[in-house]
Structure 1
Amino acid sequence: MGKGYTGKVLIVDLGTKSVTEEEIPDRIYKQYLSGMGLGAYMLYKHIPAGADALGPDNMLGFVSGLLTGTGSLFTGRWTLVGKSPLTGGWGDANCGGTFSPAIKRCGYDGIFVRGISETPVYLYIDDHVKELRDASDVWGKDTVDTEAHFRKDWKGRNLGIACIGPAGEGVSLISGVATDNGRMAARSGLGAVMGSKRLKAVVLAGNKRINPHNRKEMKRISAICNKWVQFQPPFMTSTMMAGTGALMRALPSVMAQDGILYKMMLKKWGTVSMNQMSVEMGDSPIKNWKGSSKDWGMFKSHSSNPDNFTKCEEVKYHCYSCPLGCGGICSTSGKYRETHKPEYETVLSLGGLLLNKDIDSIFYLNELLNRAGMDTISAGHAVAFAIECYEEGVFTKKDTDGLELTWGNTKAIVSLLEKMVAREGIGHILADGVKQAAHRIGKGSEEFAVHAGGQEPAMHDSRNDPGFALHYSVEPSPGKHTVGSGLYYEMFKLWHVVDGLPGVAPFYMKGRKYKVDEEKAKVGAANSQFMNVVNGSGICLFGTFLGAKRIRVFDWLNAATGWTLTPNEYMAVGANVQTLRQAFNVRHGIEPKSFKVSDRALGRPVQTKGANKGRTVEIEAMMQGYWAQFGWDPHTGKPSEETIKELEAGL
């Protein structure tokens, strides 16, 4: 009889070449879970205050979820953690695929790396061997070729591989880490940390079994969840999605969303199902956040129609333990004949954000950036920033290496991104994201740099859903869309299982979204707490959209561990993780208020046309209300010294 977690982590020092194990007490799992929470525990404990994110004292962690491998569904996610060179504070990136169970099959809940190697190396682990090996023959290769190299060497082995490409090797602050031929743990610039350490890859080949406490109960709960996943009416078309978005824009009221509808869309098209619908309803930022659906209406955005991406889909694929299967491998006639189906974020950051309606270029750039190991969200923002600089006269044609950077100029957009990957010419200035680029350029370019604490926000317009503005601004890793919003809370339906949380009416007026009150603060805090539980468990965000009664996260955790915690007690665990991550930032000199998302994303100045016309988000009041829910100083966002001392005493 097991307990879901292994109870230990591996710590590798690249400078001394030492490899050691650290036992993790059961009380730590009960206080922080695994995944994100275990990462927070390890980083707070091991990274000294003020450590250089690109120096030897930073620790990079590859952490599996507590529920991974236990027989639960949607639990194939892993989390990459470290001090972010992009924001200067807590950094994390989440990814699916097959790497998460590979960590636990090696007998660990996490693998943590510190120090800097003198030469390129990779880390190899199986049931008997844990060692650093020379990587000079793969240094310089892209992520897909790197993975192919290792799979050829160990043909027939069940390998989990995480690696960096040229962007990470070049220490681009918007680089990530890839698995499964281009699946990206893209955010927070942690690929740059891996590159600075000269760690090319982590190759895992363990075969240890993962045992839950009650396998029979795990199976029973999973069967309930799977019934909802397999429910799939055939009536939806891509034209309906665009029309639904336009209708939602026009109506004065909002219908609270049930995630079962989004599940159906994901199962049919994947995340690209939202492309045109999001544009029409005002969810997708357009033209570097200064445009609107009026600039990218149905005629122009037709290039992002989901059918255009799925018609060349050769095969769908599932992440580990996922019954949904929203991923796909596509065949194209371009340079890369086989590629992952682009995700929603990629299509809109390389499409609507730039007014680029060339679908072939999006397929090409998606593969180019995945192979380079560069975050498509941040890369798209960097290009949008550059185009606006050119439009406003900050850049001349000489500055852009002869590129005519105008909206929708596909050839120039492709060339600029290729330069960013190579850190060549103007690409070198942009390869570290918009905040760094604006700092280097000056000349008022800061106005065009849309970010939160240094990280570019995702393709969900906070003027349409103020919940995104809140989480872009208050999360210890800012600018991310995978934590919370008003829409997410509606789909989580946590009030059905967690006592004391506000419910959502079936219909409500749109103006209600912009009202700042204690109820909204409770919603924001609940989103963060729940997603810390989710990320500590290794669960996919898309699975949680089924709702708390359909995907029984808390019941799975009890069945896996043998615990008897209530949903409210698990939410308290989520609060522990949030406070520890916030304390990490404060310890490293971060002023939480500095993470507030750029004014343009808040409707300052207000838009005069399009879906978000006249809308402004009162973010300062929202941030204060959110911080108060955690018991932090509502004016600074800092946990009290007493709270931090209590945390440190328990580490």
Structure 2
Amino acid sequence: MGKGYMGKVLIVDLGDKSVREEEIPDRVYRQYLSGMGLGAYMLYRHIPAGADPLGPDNMIGFVSGLLTGTGSLFTGRWTLVGKSPLTGAWGDANCGGTFSPAIKRCGYDGIFVRGISETPVTLYIDDHGAELRDASEVWGKDTVETETHFRQGRKGRKIGVACIGPAGESVSLISGVATDYGRMAARSGLGAVMGSKRLKAVVLAGNKRISPHNRKEMKRLSAICNKWVQFQPPFMSAPMMAGTGALMRLLPSVMAQDGILYKIMLKKWGTVAMNQMSVEMGDSPIKNWKGTSKDWGMFKSRSSSPSAFTRCEQVKYHCYSCPLGCGGICSTAGKYSETHKPEYETVLSLGGLLLNKDIDSIFYLNELLNRAGMDSISAGHAVAFAIECYEEGVFTKKDTDGLVLTWGNSEAIVALIEKMVAREGIGHILADGVKQAAPRIGKGSEAFAVHAGGQEPAMHDSRNDPGFALHYSVEPSPGKHTVGSGLYYEMFKLWQVVDDLPKVTPLYMKGSKYKADEEKAKIGAANSRFMNVVNGSGACLFGTFLGARRMRLFDWLNAATGWTLTPNEYMEVGANVQTLRQAFNVRHGIEPKDFKISERALGRPVQSKGANKGRSVAIEEMMRDYWTQFGWDPETGKPLDETIRELEAAL
């Protein structure tokens, strides 16, 4: 009888070419789960304080989820972990596709790599063991070319490939790691860690069995979840989505959201469903966060309508164990005839953030960035930063290599991102993100660099939902949107299964979102705890939006492992992971309060028009209240010394 997890990890040192297995005690899984939690356990123990993120002491980990391969749904995601060269802090990136089960089929819950190779290498693992192979033949190839190379002659065999492209090879601090021909684990700049180690790819070809404790119960729970996934009534048209967003902007009150509505949109269009709606309601930042929905109204934003991206969709794309299929493969007339359908974040970071209404350029740049292995969120911010520098006279045409960087100039936008990928001219500076670029440029450009702790935030405006502002600013890996917000909490519906959590009323006034109080702090802490459980399980954020009683994550975990933990106890596991990640940052000299997102994203000064007119976020008070919920120092955000001593004693 199985227990969901494999019970061991692989540790590879590229310096001395050693490969060894490490058994992981059951108590560690009980305390941290797998995935994100197991990554935190390993990195805290193995990366020395003050280690250079691009040096041999940093460790990068590829970690599967505890529920991956157990028969549960929405649990095919994997997590990339390491010390981030972008923020200097804990770094993680999450990705779907088919790589997560490939890790466990090799007999491991995680694969961790340290050291630096003298020459480019690939880590190859199958049922016979692990070995390092020369990668000179694929060094310089893009991610699609690299994966194609490793899959040649392997038809019908289940293998996983995770690799870097030119951006990772050139150690761009906004580079990520790709799998499944361009699916990106993009955040935290961890592609640069692989590049610095000269690790081109990890290729997995194992066939080990993954077994849950109670397969019958896993199947029963999955049937309950799938019933809600398949519920798909007729829904509004794409043009109506923009009008709905405008209506939501105008109303003084907010209706609490049920995730089943978002599921319907995801199943129909994918994440691009929210493009125009988000613009109209003030959720999507415009013009480097200084613009508004007035600058990117329905006439301009219709270029990002959901139908604009789905009309060329050839086939739906499902991640492993996903019954929804929000991804898609599109056919285009440009340089790349086939590409993944751009996600919401990519469309708006290359669209509204730059006032770019050329859809063909977005399709092209989406594929270019996926092949280069560069984060589209950070890339969009870097271009927006450069355009504002040009607009304000910080840059001249000489500085930009002759490019006329004006809002909406799609030709210049494309050319600039191509320069970033090649690390050519002005692109060389921008390829490391806006925090790194601003002090190198000077002349007051720091005011145009929007980031949280060094990482560019996602396309969800913190002035519209202050919950995003909080999580951008307090998470051990800052600037990320996939942890929490007020909207997420409404859809999680955790109060239905977890004791002592605030219940959201069906209708509430918009102004109440901006009040910093204990209830908001409890909501923020609950989001963080829950998402650590989600990421420890290998679960998909979109699946959790169905609600706690429809996607029974806690019950799946018990059925997979044989444990009998309550939802409250799993939330404590999530708290353990959060404290360990925060302790990692403190150990490496990070001041948590310095992760506060840029003033512009907080409504300082407030906007005078548009959807977020007059709104600002009391972030300092919110951060203190949040840290108090974890028992950390409310002024510094650091876990107490006694807490860290107890944590280290248990490792």
Q: Which residue matches 1:516?
A: 516
Amino acid at match of 1:272: V
Q: Which residue matches 2:599?
A: 599
Q: Which residue matches 2:242?
A: 242
**Residue 99 of structure 1 pairs with residue 104 of structure 2:** no
1:631-646 alignment runs, 5 A limit? 631-646=631-646
Q: Which residue matches 2:309?
A: 309
Distance 1:241 1:527 in 2: 27
- Deviation sequence 1:199-224 (CA, Å, 0-9, x none): 00000000011000000000000000
**Residue 27 of structure 1 pairs with residue 27 of structure 2:** yes
**Residue 222 of structure 1 pairs with residue 215 of structure 2:** no
Distance 2:556 2:15 in 1: 40
Distance 2:24 2:209 in 1: 19
Flag structure 2 segments of 5+ consecutive residues without an equivalent.
none
Distance 1:328 1:126 in 2: 30
Amino acid at match of 2:550: R
**Residue 630 of structure 1 pairs with residue 650 of structure 2:** no
Q: Which residue matches 2:204?
A: 204
1:402-481 alignment runs, 5 A limit? 402-481=402-481
Q: Which residue matches 2:84?
A: 84
Q: Which residue matches 1:555?
A: 555
Distance 1:504 1:327 in 2: 31
Count of aligned pairs: 651
Distance 1:574 1:422 in 2: 40
- Deviation sequence 1:370-395 (CA, Å, 0-9, x none): 00000000000000000000000000
Distance 2:450 2:405 in 1: 18
1:157 CA drift (Å): 2.3
Q: Which residue matches 2:611?
A: 611
Q: Which residue matches 2:485?
A: 485
Amino acid at match of 1:107: G
Distance 2:52 2:546 in 1: 41
Distance 2:12 2:153 in 1: 23
**Residue 535 of structure 1 pairs with residue 552 of structure 2:** no
**Residue 257 of structure 1 pairs with residue 261 of structure 2:** no
**Residue 399 of structure 1 pairs with residue 399 of structure 2:** yes
Distance 2:33 2:69 in 1: 15
Q: Which residue matches 1:620?
A: 620
Give the 3-state SS of the residue equivalent to 2:604 in structure 1: coil
1:565-604 alignment runs, 5 A limit? 565-604=565-604
Distance 2:327 2:317 in 1: 5
Give the 3-state SS of the residue equivalent to 2:352 in structure 1: coil
- Deviation sequence 1:122-156 (CA, Å, 0-9, x none): 00000013100000000000000000001115344
Give the 3-state SS of the residue equivalent to 1:147 in structure 2: helix
Distance 1:157 1:549 in 2: 36
Distance 2:235 2:155 in 1: 43
Amino acid at match of 1:47: I
Give the 3-state SS of the residue equivalent to 2:353 in structure 1: coil
Give the 3-state SS of the residue equivalent to 1:353 in structure 2: helix
Amino acid at match of 1:224: I
Distance 2:267 2:153 in 1: 35
Amino acid at match of 1:44: Y
Amino acid at match of 1:223: A
1:64 CA drift (Å): 0.1
Q: Report percent identity of matched pairs.
A: 88
Amino acid at match of 2:637: G
Distance 2:496 2:105 in 1: 35
- Report runs of 4+ in structure 1 exceeding 3 Å deviation: 153-156
Distance 1:296 1:155 in 2: 46
Distance 1:73 1:153 in 2: 30
- Deviation sequence 1:280-306 (CA, Å, 0-9, x none): 000000000000000000000000000
Distance 1:437 1:124 in 2: 36
Q: Which residue matches 2:179?
A: 179
Amino acid at match of 1:379: A
1:176 CA drift (Å): 0.1
Distance 1:550 1:432 in 2: 41
Amino acid at match of 2:114: R
**Residue 7 of structure 1 pairs with residue 7 of structure 2:** yes
Distance 2:542 2:58 in 1: 31
The farther-off stretch of 231-240 and 392-401 is 231-240
**TM-score after normalising by structure 2:** 1.00
1:1-150 alignment runs, 5 A limit? 1-150=1-150
**How large is the RMSD of aligned CA atoms in angstroms?**
0.5
Give the 3-state SS of the residue equivalent to 2:112 in structure 1: strand
Q: Which residue matches 2:272?
A: 272
1:239 CA drift (Å): 1.5
1:236 CA drift (Å): 1.9
Flag structure 1 segments of 5+ consecutive residues without an equivalent.
none
**TM-score after normalising by structure 1:** 1.00
Amino acid at match of 1:225: C
Q: Which residue matches 1:354?
A: 354
Amino acid at match of 2:76: G
1:50 CA drift (Å): 0.2
Give the 3-state SS of the residue equivalent to 1:246 in structure 2: helix
